[in-house]
Amino acid sequence: MTRPTALPPMTPDAKNGFVPALRRWRLPVLLALVCGLLALAGEPLRSLLIYDREAILHGQVWRLFSAHLLHLGGSHLGLNLAGLALVWALVGERFSGRGWLLVLLVDALVTGLGLLIFNPQLRWYVGLSGVLHGLLVAGSVADIRLGLRGAWLLLGVVALKLAWEQFAGPLPGSEDAAGGRVIVDAHLYGALGGLLMGCLLRPRPSVQASPSSSR
């Protein structure tokens, strides 16, 4: 009777590739968990966290950040989390974890302040989509600064989408998919915040695997 062979130990090269990959996805996974938990929260907690213009003007400034973690419903949450995964797959390597956290916080603030200053008619708002536009733009700008020409195409697609939304309104079907009104100005403010952070933060080049030495 033969014994089952043991699995070979993980090589240093495999560890060096697997562990950084896990670390790179820590922030989006944590963000997704927080959004999912808040989706299950009761209305009293949600009412304390949504973007509420009058409450913000009376000093509840945390709503400028927390509103982006709330959603209209399951379909809205699912769309944004799918968007988050796509953004991270495209540009998630471009900054360190601390760098991305800074981008996230600044972009949330820029988006919230943009709505507060330029959209006085908007009474309340929830959703991550504005911040997602900022993350994608920040990563694309960082790619361009590193000389990756393909990033111009990605940035151009985002610019065309924003232009469409400003002149023609939300993309066809987007409001039905989200289950409510799409605030397209939040996408614009988020993108501008991402543009700012993409220009200010030092991008991190992609880590290339070192060639194995011959023996």
pLDDT, tens digit only, all 215 positions of the chain:
555 555 555 555 445 555 666 778 999 999 999 999 999 999 999 999 999 999 999 999 999 999 999 999 999 999 999 999 999 999 999 999 999 999 999 999 999 999 999 999 999 999 999 999 999 999 999 999 999 999 999 999 999 999 999 999 999 999 999 999 999 999 999 999 999 999 999 999 865 433 333 33
* Model pLDDT, residue 35: 98
* Model pLDDT, residue 6: 52
* Model pLDDT, residue 205: 87
CA-wise closest residue to 107 among 33, 197, 25: 197
The residues spanned by each domain of the chain are: 23-200
124, β-bridge pairs: 52
User: 31 φ, ψ to 5°?
Assistant: -65, -40
Report the C-alpha gap between 88 and 73 in whole angstroms: 23
**Is-contact 71 39, C-beta < 8 A?**
yes
* Model pLDDT, residue 116: 98
Report the C-alpha gap between 84 and 29 in whole angstroms: 9
Report the C-alpha gap between 196 and 112 in whole angstroms: 15
* Model pLDDT, residue 24: 83
CA-wise closest residue to 125 among 188, 65, 40: 65
* Model pLDDT, residue 195: 98
Does the domain formed by 23-200 have CATH 3.40.50.2300? no
* Model pLDDT, residue 18: 56
